Amino acid sequence: MTARRFLPRRRLLLGAAGAIAAASLGAGAFRTLARARGLAARTGAGLAFGTTVSLTVAAAEAPEAEAALTEAFRAIRAVEAAASLFRADSALSRLNRDGVLQRPDPLLLALLRFALDLAAETGGAFDPTVQPLWTLWAEAAARGGRPDAAALRETLARVGWTRVRIADDAIRLPAGMGLTLNGIVQGFAADRVMAVLEARGIANAFVDTGEFGARGAHPDGVPWRLGIADPREPARIREVIAPFSGFAATSGDYATSFSPDHADHHIFDPATGRSPRSLASVTVTAPTGLLADGLSTTAMVLGERRGRDLVARHPGCAMRVVAKA
């Protein structure tokens, strides 16, 4: 299970040549392609979840596209306010600080209920209570070492999804426990953005919230394509998903590594408190960003065989892996 707070999020999925996102084409070229098809294209970018997010839309009229972007970014901010650990004032940060949250944000409730359902389905391989492990490993890495066995045992005693108490009116955590939803929050944000765009009648869009979503086509009329970068050479595209529509998420061992060989990183096996060792990255495509994000994280923990079994149980999902060298 993944836990992160201050370090930049990995960017493994990249727009591929021939149908890349506007940020790669340049806004001027993107708009020119759209105008040739009688469309108005707009791109917006900003900071969210500790990384850069960008949204690209094409609509019949420019005001439609601009209004859709404004509302879509409002949806991202709402998800941040509910569940981002990068914001000290988010509902999730307040829950971790106080141990109880009265009248919780409905978005936080939706995310946490999904997380606990996935934990139950996977026997705890996905566990939103691993945040204390992140703190332990980050502090040890800052000192140039690894946690000792006693510290790891003590921290693992504060991990366990079955101890979270959740109801419509309150969420409660035992003393010393902390939650992270970083393994699913950006996929959830992609879902929220795409729902806004669909409601506004935007037929062509590319969404990058740290996880990816696409609908319709690129302004030049061809289907969207998505490149998967090599986890050992992130500037190089290893594989291309073409055509790409729906949602995709990647979990990898290299974005936040605690050791030069990527053996220790930000994804933890809740059973051991250590990082899984068999895979360098997992990419999952799915009908929703939330599902893609959760499955990619869990598959990193389970390994290829069990990860494929998990993904196969969810209709419309597929998995691509890169094994550790």
Q: At 308, is the secondary structure helix, strand, or coil?
A: helix
The answer on pLDDT for 29 being more than 80 is no
Q: State the pLDDT at residue 41.
A: 86
Whose CA is closest to 233, among 296, 167, 281? 281
Q: How much is the average pLDDT of 135-149?
A: 94
Q: Is residue 253 part of an annotated ligand binding site?
A: no
Contact status, residue 290 vs residue 187, Cβ threshold 8 Å: yes
Q: Is 227 annotated as a binding residue?
A: no
pLDDT at 3: 55
Residue among 284, 238, 208, 213 at smallest CA distance from 46: 208
The average pLDDT across 9-35 equals 45
74: how many CB neighbours lie within 10 A of its CB? 12
Distance in Å from the first CA to the final CA of the chain = 21
d(CA 244, CA 228): 12
Residue 293 known to bind ligand: yes
Rg for the chain (alpha carbons), in Å?
A: 19
Mean pLDDT confidence for 121-129: 98
How would CATH label the architecture of 98-172? Answer: Orthogonal Bundle (1.10)
> Given the DSSP bridges, would you call strands 100-102 and 165-167 parallel, antiparallel or unpaired?
unpaired
Per residue in 246-273, pLDDT tens? Answer: 999 999 988 788 888 878 888 999 999 9
Domain ranges within the chain, ordered by starting residue: 98-172
User: What tens digit of pLDDT does each residue of 154-205 get?
Assistant: 999 999 999 999 999 999 999 999 999 999 999 999 999 999 999 999 999 9
